[in-house]
């Protein structure tokens, strides 16, 4: 940016601030947004934004996000802060809108999609479970990112635990329709894999009781747990391919690429989550928009939506292709 342009923009901003009503000016907080070091943001009384150095230790997760933190807030101000531009704004609203998306998809499915497909009572149950799990995952995430700024560390930790529990529920929501329709014609293996997945999810829930579960020492172990639960799906997927006669089977050629795409989206989301890229290479420049956790959030929504559409696709296939002795 040239010096003359920068001077003109700063002069215009200064003129704007001079003519701003004093009642509003008192509620103005200044943040660094991209190349602007003093960008005005209106915040409700009692709320302010902090730098990374100023926040409590339990909020220090990402040193490359240097500004825009909410902290030391009671519950009511935590709720009000969702309308304040902070480094959690995109995280909150991406999954709040994600919840709304899956809620509306549920209404549409129950009202039009499933009836037009001649769905059975089992289909309604499976879709209800899947979409309910996605909605729970979204709301748990919203809750944590909304209340992580609470003045009580204990409250923050409780919401963090709920966020992790929501991830497990979201994974369950992927497995239920996937396993049900993959082994639609083989009730034995369908029950085996559904019960196994449920046991894994319950094991993760049980691990959350451990007092060290939310500590930094268990960070890698937590990631390994979720990767193991999600990666377990490779086993029933390979078994399903074998039961259907290999990759040349029609249903495998139709369905297996969609499974791979789902795993690619999940892997991409996880890489953003653990690598802290791109803000690692642009510290302080992506505090409010473009951070890795925001990409993680949006990719999770995309993955859930993709899997929901895949479940509808495979349901229609199963209804149009009756089971045979050799089908899985």
Domain boundaries, the chain: 92-320
**Span 250-274, mean pLDDT?**
95
143: nearest Cα among 99, 104, 192: 99
Helices and strands (H, E) in the chain, number of each type: 12, 4
Pairing of strands 49-50, 36-42: unpaired
What is the distance between the alpha carbons of residues 49 and 126, in angstroms, rounded to a whole number? 44
Please report the DSSP string for 58-98 in residue order: GG-S-TT--S-EE-SB-HHHHHHGGGS-STTHHHHHHHHHH
- DSSP character at residue 45: T
How many residues are there in the chain?
328
Residue 171's contacts (CB-CB under 8 Å, 6 or more residues apart) are: 201, 226, 229, 230
Q: What is the pTM of this model?
A: 0.86
- pLDDT value of residue 326: 55
Architecture of the domain delimited by 92-320: Up-down Bundle (1.20)
Give the pLDDT of residue 300.
98
DSSP string, 207-270: HTTSTTTTSGGGHHHHHHHHHHHHHTTHHHHHHHHHHTTSTTSHHHHHHHHHHHHHHHHHHHHH
Evaluate the omega torsion of the peptide bond into residue 173 and state whether it is cis, within 30 degrees of 0: no
Share of the chain above pLDDT 90, in %: 77
pLDDT at 17: 46
pLDDT value at 3 more than 60: no
Average pLDDT, the chain: 88
Q: How far apart are CA 65 and CA 116, in angstroms?
A: 48
Give residue 42's pLDDT band: very low, low, confident or very high (50, 70, 90). Answer: low
pLDDT (tens digit per residue) in 195-241: 999 999 999 999 988 888 988 889 899 999 999 999 999 999 999 99
pLDDT reading at 126 higher than 90: yes
The candidate with the shortest Cα–Cα distance to 102, out of 264, 315, 300, is 300
pLDDT at residue 307 in the model: 97
Is residue 292 within 8 A of residue 272, CB to CB? The reply is yes
Specify the DSSP class assigned to residue 140.
Answer: H
Is 308 labelled as part of a ligand binding site? no
- To the question of whether residue 293 is assigned a binding role by annotation, the answer is yes
Q: DSSP class of residue 52?
A: G
Which tokens is 82 given? 């969702």
Nearest Cα to 61, choosing from 306, 283, 276?
276
| Model pLDDT for residues 19-40, shown as the tens digit of each residue | 555 544 444 555 555 444 555 5
The per-residue pLDDT for 43 is 62
pLDDT at 44: 63
Average pLDDT over residues 165-180: 97
Instruction: Give the pLDDT score at 8.
Output: 40
pLDDT at 211: 86
Q: Is 14 annotated as a binding residue?
A: no
Q: Does 104 have pLDDT greater than 80?
A: yes
Handedness of CA 167, 97, 62, 49 (dihedral sign): negative
Nearest CA among 163, 149, 201, 152 for reference residue 179: 201
Q: What is the CB neighbour count within 10 angstroms for residue 116?
A: 9
Q: Hey, CA dihedral for 283, 289, 290, 295, is it positive or negative?
A: positive
Contact between residue 197 and residue 172 where contact means Cβ atoms under 8 Å apart: yes
Residue with tokens 């009511």: 76
């Amino acid at each position: 940016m040239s010096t003359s342009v920068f001077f003109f923009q700063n002069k215009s901003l200064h003129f704007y601030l001079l003519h701003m009503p004093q009642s509003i000016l008192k509620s103005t907080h200044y943040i660094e947004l991209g190349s602007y070091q003093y960008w005005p943001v209106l915040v409700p009384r009692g709320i302010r934004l902090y730098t990374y150095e100023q926040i409590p230790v339990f909020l220090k997760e990402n040193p490359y996000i240097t500004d825009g933190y909410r902290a030391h807030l009671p519950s009511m101000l935590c709720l009000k802060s969702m309308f304040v531009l902070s480094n959690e704004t995109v995280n909150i609203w991406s999954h709040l809108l994600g919840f709304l998306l899956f809620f509306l998809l549920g209404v549409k499915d129950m009202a039009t999609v499933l009836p037009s497909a001649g769905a059975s009572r089992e289909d309604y149950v499976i879709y209800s479970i899947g979409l309910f799990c996605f909605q729970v995952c979204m709301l748990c995430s919203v809750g944590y990112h909304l209340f992580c700024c609470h003045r009580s560390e204990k409250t923050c930790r409780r919401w963090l635990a709920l966020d992790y529990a929501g991830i497990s529920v979201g994974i369950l929501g992927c497995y239920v329709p996937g396993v049900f329709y993959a082994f639609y014609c083989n009730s034995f293996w369908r029950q085996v894999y559904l019960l196994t997945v449920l046991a894994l999810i319950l094991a993760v829930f049980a691990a959350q009781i451990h007092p060290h579960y939310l500590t930094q020492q268990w960070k890698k172990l937590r990631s390994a747990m979720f990767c193991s639960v999600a990666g377990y799906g490779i086993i029933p997927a390979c078994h399903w391919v074998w039961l259907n006669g290999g990759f040349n089977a029609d249903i495998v050629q139709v369905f297996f690429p969609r499974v791979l795409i789902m795993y690619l989206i999940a892997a991409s989301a996880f890489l953003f989550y653990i690598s802290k890229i791109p803000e690692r290479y642009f510290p302080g420049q992506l505090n409010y928009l473009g951070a890795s956790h925001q990409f993680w959030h949006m990719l999770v929504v995309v993955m859930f939506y993709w899997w929901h559409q895949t479940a509808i696709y495979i349901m229609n296939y199963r209804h149009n292709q009756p089971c045979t002795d050799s089908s899985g």
